[in-house]
Amino acid sequence: MIKAIFFDIDGTLKSFKTHSIPQSAIDAINQVKSKGIKVFIATGRYFNQIGDLNGLTFDGFITLNGAHCINGEYQTIFTNPIPKDNIEALLRYHKEVFSFPSIFITEKREVINFIDENVRAISQLVDVPLSPVGQLTEAEMAEVLQIDAFINDNQEKEVLGTVLTNCDASRWHPLFADVNVRGNSKRTGIDKFLEYYKLNLSETMAFGDGGNDIQMLEYVALGIAMDNAGDKVKQVADYITDSVDDDGISNALKHFGLI
């Protein structure tokens, strides 16, 4: 029996076309909640970037791909920072070798070193404000939970191999990668909430569409890929539903008899 459902935001819960949650998904989530099923956000976004969820309430938020978990009362229950020496190494790399836009995200704020057309394109795509340009303080260098690195696949391999040597990267868009401490993923956040609410992995379900959802969909008992997901995501899913714009969440919950 499903007792917990985890939802990605961009391309899963929210449409890239409308930047909103379809009414069918709102109604469906409220219906499963009325049956006592707990619902969670599982996103690569910073908590302050989640924005309007059309009045929906959630039992917890897995943000920054699992590096920052927040309960339904908006209290932090877990953080997983990148080692400070990796952050220092990246700042040196920016200065001495190659500088690329990098959003550094801590529990309390986000800052970017500079903005280019790729940063603007992603900001527009996900309908969030541009990060403020600035620098990390010395204390914040030990508190970075995620770096949004605007680099291509080849650059990613070089940076992870020589600079961010204690980190992994995941991406749902070719323009940038989410970088977190090695071993961290949305799966990490799921474990934290299963422990927090004393639930079993066999009672879990998740919806996703991006590369940063692969580990989550592989891990839960029932992984659902949206039809707008990439092939690699669909390959690990237990079921492929319709796209976010074609009532995919509602249709899948109906298919499995949850509403």
The residues that are catalytic are 8
Whether 16 and 125 have beta carbons less than 8 Å apart is answered as yes
Contact partners, residue 147, CB within 8 Å, separation at least 6? 82, 90, 102, 103, 104, 105, 164, 167, 178, 179
Residue 152 has φ and ψ, to the nearest 5°, of: -85, 180
C-alpha R_g of the chain = 18
Residue 248 has φ and ψ, to the nearest 5°, of: -60, -40
* Rounded to 5°, angle at Cα 77 from 55 and 219: 80
- Residue (of 17, 41, 16, 43) closest to 29 by Cα position: 41
Distance of CA 31 to the CA centre of its chain: 24
Q: How far apart are CA 146 and CA 128, in angstroms?
A: 17
- Residue (of 7, 2, 73, 79) closest to 42 by Cα position: 7
Q: How far apart are CA 173 and CA 95, in angstroms?
A: 26
The end-to-end CA distance of the chain, in Å, is: 13
